[in-house]
Amino acid sequence: MSLSIGIVGLPNVGKSTLFNALTKAQNAESANYAFCTIEPNKAVVPVPDPRIDVLAELVNPQRVQYSTVDFVDIAGLVAGASKGEGLGNKFLGNIRETQAILHVVRCFDNDDVIHVSNSVDPIRDIDVIETELILADVQVLENRLERMEKMLKGDKTLAPKIEAAKALVEHMNEGQPASTFDKEMKGLDELLAELRLITAKNVIYCANVDDEGVMEDNEYVKLVRALAEERGAEFVKISAKMEEELLGLDDEEAQEFLDSFGIEESGLHQIIRTGFKSLGLISYFTAGVKEVRAWTIHDGDKAPQAAGVIHTDFERGFIRAEVVGYDQYVEHGSESKCRTAGVLRVEGKEYVMKDGDVVHFLFNV
């Protein structure tokens, strides 16, 4: 399992600059005009986790594998995108498969950087994007509803899904995203799983600021932060330009650069950490001479489910898990020493995994 994040926003708000910086890959052209990104950009980014580095130093494996995040950046959306305006509507299917949405909003004034609406207004900009996403989802939902109603005579089990679809269409036509709909309605879970509606996904509001905005929240940032809090959504503040300037610096130089602005962590770290939090994800580790690796699971997953992330056979033939906490592993220095010290535990099928567990699974198929 990997975390996947779709990046959306108006044209020319810094999405492609941010994408370049986050992925350390200059494959998303960045220019001062709308629609500079005309193809969906995708990248797989390793999740920075110092725990992996420490484990690798102790074990000295043949290779190290970090957890990953898939970033998908599409062309900027504009008003009317759901009716074919602009280019971003062509690529909405690319972000339907993602787990979370990073909504980038411009939160700085600069006469040299054009705005598609000729003025900076983050709340208006957010409303434009969210309206287009809702309208796009409604089209998908109505098409699915029409097909289900034609099939109803031959398949009465579709009735709950049809009722859920009708109610959801009504809800969204009032300008409300799918995420705010009654989640207890019968048939809804199956419907959402099939359609993967964009507005049903977790949203992270990302305020893109200039150097001054990094040091202190400006009025634009305060508005976006308040909106995120009101909606119970996650919020990050980054400077896409600053993130781009970090490219080419080693870890020590990058941290010195961030420290000079009073920033504790890079935008990449913030977004990934926030993404994990919003989706309820945690990491566990496997550590052996062949490989030290991080695996992403849902908080609350039991040992067999966690084993299944490695391979479905591991879950199907799960026998037990040998587990030690990360801190204890580092304290003792190896699996064998943890075993000798009595801190390595044997856990069964009902064990609930914890973030940072170092695990060896035993299975039989």
Annotated ligand binding at 12? The verdict is: yes
The answer to the question of whether 17 is labelled as a binding residue is yes
- Residue 348, marked binder: no
Which pLDDT belongs to residue 262?
82
Average pLDDT of the segment spanning 193-203: 92
Q: Convert the pLDDT of each residue in 56-82 to its tens digit.
A: 999 999 999 998 888 888 766 766 655
The CATH code of domain 300-363 reads 3.10.20.30
Of all residues in the chain, the percent with pLDDT exceeding 90 is: 52
Q: Following CA atoms 152, 156, 157, 158 in sequence, which dihedral angle do they give, to the nearest 10 degrees?
A: 20
Domain extents in the chain: 3-278, 300-363
Q: Which residue has the tokens 């000798």?
A: 340
CATH classification code of 3-278: 3.40.50.300
Residue 198, C-beta contacts closer than 8 angstroms, at least 6 positions apart: 6, 92, 95, 96, 101, 133, 136, 137
| Residue 14, annotated as binding a ligand | yes
> Closest Cα partner for 131 from 101, 179, 174, 193?
174
pLDDT at 336 over 90: yes
Residue pair 301/25 in contact by the 8 Å Cβ criterion? no
> Does 365 belong to an annotated binding site?
no
Is 278 flagged in the annotation as binding? Answer: no
Q: What is the mean pLDDT of the chain?
A: 87
**CA dihedral (201, 204, 207, 208) positive or negative:** negative
The answer to pTM > 0.75 is: yes
- 206 has which bridge partners? 104, 236
